[in-house]
Chains A and B, each alone.
Chain A
């Protein structure tokens, strides 16, 4: 595990892309395939479900070190990261740590934790502590707490691995899509210089867009662009190959079983078809708000009631494979033509009701487009997608040919009433805040927001929190209501679970309103009227 630990340190110690790619290449060139497979598994964001809670680990480290539980808690609050806290509290090993191969550590000291009872888990954890050195323990803690992250995006891993294999990045990206087993054979197959064979279960890497920051006129003539509504659902690929149907979410999760209505559509699709689109909760002839779809996310058991309350459909907007042919290098207008023909030819049946073609919006000018975009919310969309008509279907998030052109978010001015320490880079600083609006004389909490402030502002808020704490509840402090911030969010829905009666989508801090006294913050009425506006 030493080699993997070393890789972790090297990646962690630099912000420079080239140095990261070099460290990855060095690792993949030298690591045995059985280990490299697991390294790749974790580096590309896969992880096991967490088998042990942080509280349990803190309890065991207290027993192992003799530090009182409260002292372990204080340490945890100061560090803000469980893996790191454990590492810092444990005594140094006498002599060098064991250096077992990574795959053995994973198979012997990570995976089995899920199937052991508490006492056996503790025994395994303690035994591992006693054989690993400090840095190995840290990485292992990250693995067993399901929190392995090391600041390399998938793109860098793909680039490094493509260099090692001597094949094109796009081919490597495709090979890495979907689910693959972290074993030596799969790893060797990834590095195979023969690029002809493809795995039929695999989705294509998604093409993602950046938000358009300037005016649309900067994009050149309107005639070069295809405009669609930007739907607020789950991006997905629907695959039909060799009679098999697969639905892959953009998070590369196989979700076929979670959306049987959509999977049923594929029965009518010809073999060798891959569609790109958006999963949406759907009723009659239009999409429902995201929070309806949310009821379906992560549900293992689909009851008839759930399927009835929150039916799902797919809105398709691109055709990536047709008759077994990869169409991604074809221009968008050609793919669209084939897509329209394909959808039009589908027989009309109960099954095919769950597939819809994302309509094109055809404004007469960019000014007209700007005006139409303001109707997004009425169309249950978040704005427009702008796609160059001659664009190929690229890999990853790339500027130039595709843009998101989202409508401005909702905003309200709110008062900060609670603060909590962050984690990772922001551990030991108060960075997570709860905001409230006025309900008469009372401040009612309605949103939590984490991001949006600059580092300098976070320092200032942190200092404010420390000086103005009213009460402490574990890691949370209530503070004197004094700071007003503008909170931006994408959507608002009625909620019975929140005291304020509303649930927001993507709340974040837009800016710190240092100019506003708390009396001028918004009221619950403002939220209610936004709610009414959305629900039309």
Chain B
């Protein structure tokens, strides 16, 4: 019998069950861990995800821009966390990954052999998604975006307190606060941590669109306005604007908000050089990926002996795992984790 999962040109594939997990090429049946663009690509015929994740996945893989590229409208089916579906004799279930709304680890079982694929995950709390749950398995495929011991997150409450006081300090100086964060997941997590008492909360268009999907999944976010010209004018010097990193390159848009202060929220902000390269005033260290202790705790909690390591500091993680008694190897996937530079 071959391996339960193997790496093919299209991505992680289960020969026994004839399905892919987060394929980077169009396939017949794709199981999707979460809707970030490096994991959820267009063109497959069937997508399987969690009910919570279906809304954001639909925004990502359906619509005119997909059919215009010659792809048929795909079918999206859902499987609630913890329920099992039999696909060609292979038992498949989805389990919370804590990365963002509806994100899942994929558990695959066949003939007594259990594998789990983490997708992207974090072990820290996040009010906007179901917390990570370890999956007992024989083989665990883990990400390693922040697989170095320099990456150790501080409690999110501290980071939110920092963000809120930065916002307040900017207000005192009549500045609008621009906080850059990835539109899906990070933006909503931050929104949930803002103190709406401080002032108006504005969101960039790409964030607003995704907030809608969060609202449909009953995730409570503080009220926010769409950051158009009018809102810019009426909230100048008081508002915080949550925008994707690309908005930093739109000076004409930024000018409408009067004097501004800029910050970026990302795990990469751990390193001073990364913040200075972005030329932002502040860097908030906030990531939706596991930090070094998080990765190691998560790996331990699976009880797995075999660890496949994908995107990130793969070589470091593999070496550390081997030196500490695991059977570990690297997997060359096309996942990118938290993008270090522009998307």
Give the interface of A toward B (CB within 8 A): 12-15, 65, 67-68, 70-71, 74-75, 78-81, 84-85, 88-89, 423-429, 455, 459
Contact = CB atoms under 8 A, between A and B. Distances in A.
Nearest to A427: B273
A71 B320 contact: yes
Contacts of B271: 78-80, 84, 88, 427-428
Contact of B316 (A15, A71, A424, A426): A71
B148 A426 contact: no
B149 A67 contact: yes
A84 to B, nearest CB: 6
Contacts of B150: 75, 78-79, 85, 88-89
Contacts of B64: none
A509 B315 CA distance: 33
A81 B274 CA distance: 12
A424 B277 CA distance: 9
A443 B149 CA distance: 39
8 contacts: A15-B279, A65-B149, A74-B313, A78-B150, A80-B271, A81-B273, A88-B270, A424-B276
A13 B273 contact: no
Contacts of B313: 74, 78
Given A70-B319, A71-B320, A427-B273, A13 B281 contact: yes
Contacts of A78: 148, 150, 271, 313
A82 to B, nearest CB: 12
A456 to B, nearest CB: 10
A85 B148 CA distance: 11
Nearest to B279: A15
A68 B274 contact: no
Contacts of A459: 341
A13 B282 contact: yes
Contacts of A65: 149
B272 interface: yes
Interface in B212-238: none
A447 B272 CA distance: 29
A68 B320 CA distance: 9
Interface of B: 148-152, 270-274, 276-277, 279, 281-282, 313, 316, 319-320, 323, 341
A468 to B, nearest CB: 17
Nearest to B263: A13
B277 A74 contact: no
B275 to A, nearest CB: 9
A428 B278 CA distance: 13
A528 B282 CA distance: 50
A71 B320 CA distance: 8
Nearest to A80: B273
Nearest to A463: B341
A79 to B, nearest CB: 6
B124 to A, nearest CB: 16
Contacts of A15: 279, 281
B148 A75 contact: yes
Contacts of A88: 149-152, 270-271
A67 B320 CA distance: 10
A336 to B, nearest CB: 45
Which 10 pairs of residues, A with B, have the shortest CB-CB distance? A427-B273, A88-B150, A425-B276, A75-B150, A74-B316, A67-B149, A75-B148, A425-B273, A79-B271, A78-B148
A15 to B, nearest CB: 7
A360 B322 CA distance: 73
Nearest to B323: A68
B157 to A, nearest CB: 15
Contact of B149 (A14, A84, A89): A89
A312 to B, nearest CB: 40
A108 to B, nearest CB: 27
A85 B151 CA distance: 11
Contact of A455 (B151, B270, B277, B281): B277
Contacts of A74: 148, 313, 316
Given A15-B281, A80-B271, A427-B273, 15 more contacts: A12-B272, A14-B281, A67-B149, A71-B316, A71-B320, A75-B150, A78-B150, A78-B271, A79-B150, A79-B273, A80-B273, A84-B271, A85-B150, A89-B150, A459-B341
A81 B149 CA distance: 15
B18 to A, nearest CB: 33
Contact of A71 (B149, B274, B277, B281): B149
A426 B149 contact: no
Contacts of B148: 71, 74-75, 78
